[in-house]
A and B are shown apart, each in its own frame.
Chain A
Amino acid sequence: MPETKRRTVVYNVTRTAELGGEGGLVHAPIVPVEGEVFGDADADFGGEHMLINIGPQHPATHGVLRLVLELDGETVIKCTPHIGYLHSSFEKLGEYRDWNQIVPLTDRMDYLAPLIYNCAYAMAVEKMMGIEVTERCKVVRVIIMEMDRIFSHLLWLGTTAIDLGAFTVFLYTFQERERIYNLHEAYTGARITTSATRIGGMMADLPAGWIEQLKEFVRTFPNTLAEVETLLTNNAIWLGRTQDVGVISAEDAVNFGLSGANLRASGVSYDIRKDRPYYDYETYDFDVPVGEHGDIYDRYLCRMEEMRQSLRLLDQAINRLPGGPINVDDPRVILPSKTAAMNDMESMIHHFKVVMEGVRAPVGESWFSVESSKGELGMYVVSDGGSKPVRWRVRGPSFINIAALPHMIEGALLSDVIAVNASLDIVLGEIDR
């Protein structure tokens, strides 16, 4: 693999929220008081812990997550997350579906970035089957994956801000997301459950005018991002609530299996687009932001910068979009054209067999991962030679990220629990699968 230049972007952000000269606010960290505050005599008042239950139905848990906290006043002594409230057995269901019928299931796991899941699944199966997609298909998939990375980060930004009290950001980000919804709908017909990929290609080629619409989005989106930055990045309340909160060290982050911006904010430079590049990512010019403190603020900065880098990637991908067919010319997996199928018998039989019996994969398996907006999304497909998988396993990044939550918040305050939970960017669909 050629040596890739890895530039890390270090942010020169003042660590204290000094706003201008006189009358500016200074960040005052909360320090524990030395010595006994409450005497032993008052055992009831000073000694009892409280067991409280957050969720599973709760506005701030980002889905049906349940946290049971043991509190000493406002301080978290122990936190136990409980999951499984959305377990829809995707993996078992996948064993009863053909390879192409699994694509609609992938939308419903990470419903915040469905195209990334569609692409990751198709890529894993194509690797197992040894199919190389066309150049146009590769660039189109890069385009839609980066677009959905922005899509997912926008929702993360809106919901995290609203959890910490900044309601306006939610409205701004959702307005931008509506534009991406329009792009989704123009291409795939659906806003969220896109199901855009097929084994060997895509469901259809890009419609006319879609690239222009995307270019318009890429041109105007930085303005919204700048507006949100002015609202949050140097905001004293935001800084006070996010700096040095939810810290996890680099060694712990690697041992806990964190991935995505959660890992990179702790200083570990691991991005699959750089370390195990796919679809010519090594030929694109983009940076990967790496933080240093491992707190919520660094995760926020990493994700904001990732959105900008995705815009760079989108620019380059749009410029290099080649012509040519979108689907690979392999009759084992791709349906014949409708004209051919309607006009001659053999094509019709071919069409019938591929649809009714499904695409068949050779014996084998593949564990393939992509850099999704939430982290390392792994797809493990095992085939025994049939049209349905023996095992389809999804390594959802949020499942592993949320397991590190207790480690990050034990000793923190109750209000930090919500902030750290939001900063991990979880989606319950891929946790519970």
Chain B
Amino acid sequence: MSDFKKGLDALDSGPTGSPKETPRVAPPPEDLPPHPTVEALRAHFGAAVGRHEVVAGDEHIVYIDSAENLEVLRWLRDDPDQRYDFLQDLTAIDYGNNVSLQVVYQLWSIPHQRNIRIKIELPLDRLELDSVYYVWRASDWLEREVYDMFGVVFRGHPDMRRILMPYNYAEGHPLRKDFPLRGRFSRAEQTRRALSLKVEDHYSPAELEVATRLGQTLPDVTTEGGSGQPNRALAPPGLGGM
């Protein structure tokens, strides 16, 4: 019976607390297991490198200043001792309660067989970052997804559009904590909006350009908040009528 009592106490005492109440305090650097990349990063980039954490036993996280992310990530891919050539994942975390939003890059080096996680904290009123599209092409759709779900704009990305939601989705960025699970509009309104989309509303600007060259007029679909009706003002001159 005492096992169960211990179990109950463990359930009651639970975890140590959440970032809402206490800021996360990293253990002092001497206690962390070493990671060759971290030392090299600090040597190379100095002040742009923030704290270093180890979670889940062996996963290393390094925080980078948001202004330097492109240089740091490009160096991580190209430096012969680092060679993080495989971008495993690019995502974001919204902790809620107006704490900053973190953009997370999970990297793996195939030659050196090493993992590293780079995190960048962004203030909620300036969700912008440089795109790593030309460093790892895998970030093409991953950054579009982060934009779609969180609203982080990646400067320099050639095609910064929504990817999972419809292109003129007007309810916001779904994975933010202030976005309700069932969306902001009523179901009837969501159904009405969905059904009043013309099929042409699903085309990207490049495809529309081809269609225009072939002599068809189509609306501008990249503006949010549209009711799905064609925006004739943006059609090329002479082709405004449909």
Q: Which A positions have Cβ atoms within 8 angstroms of B?
A: 1, 48-49, 51, 66, 68, 70, 78, 80, 82-84, 87, 89, 91-93, 96, 127-128, 130, 252, 254-257, 268, 270, 275-276, 331-332, 336, 340, 344, 346-347, 349-350, 353-354, 357, 360-369, 376, 378, 380, 382-386, 390-391, 393, 395, 399-400, 403-404, 407, 432-433
Contacts and interface: CB of A to CB of B under 8 A. Distances in A.
B56 A384 contact: no
Interface in B135-166: 136-138, 140-142, 145, 149, 162-166
Contacts of B174: 89, 92
B18 A360 contact: no
B68 interface: no
A332 B8 CA distance: 8
Contacts of B91: 380, 391, 393, 395
Given A87-B165, A275-B113, A349 B55 contact: no
The 6 A-B pairs at the shortest CB distance, nearest first, are namely A331-B7, A257-B138, A385-B15, A366-B56, A384-B18, A84-B164
B89 A87 contact: no
B5 interface: yes
A347 B93 CA distance: 37
Interface in B4-36: 4-8, 10-11, 14-20, 24
A364 B55 contact: yes
Contacts of A275: 113
A360 B14 contact: yes
Interface in B178-223: 179, 181, 202-204, 206-207, 210-211, 214
A252 B142 CA distance: 17
A248 B136 CA distance: 15
B114 to A, nearest CB: 10
Contact of B55 (A254, A268, A354, A365): A365
A210 to B, nearest CB: 30
Nearest to A82: B202
B183 to A, nearest CB: 10
A66 B202 contact: yes
Nearest to A348: B4
A256 B137 contact: yes
B1 interface: yes
A263 B106 CA distance: 18
Interface stretch (B80-88, B120-128, B232-240): B80-88
A353 B11 contact: yes
A312 to B, nearest CB: 24
Contacts of A432: 164
B224 to A, nearest CB: 15
B45 interface: no
Nearest to A368: B56
Contacts of B70: none
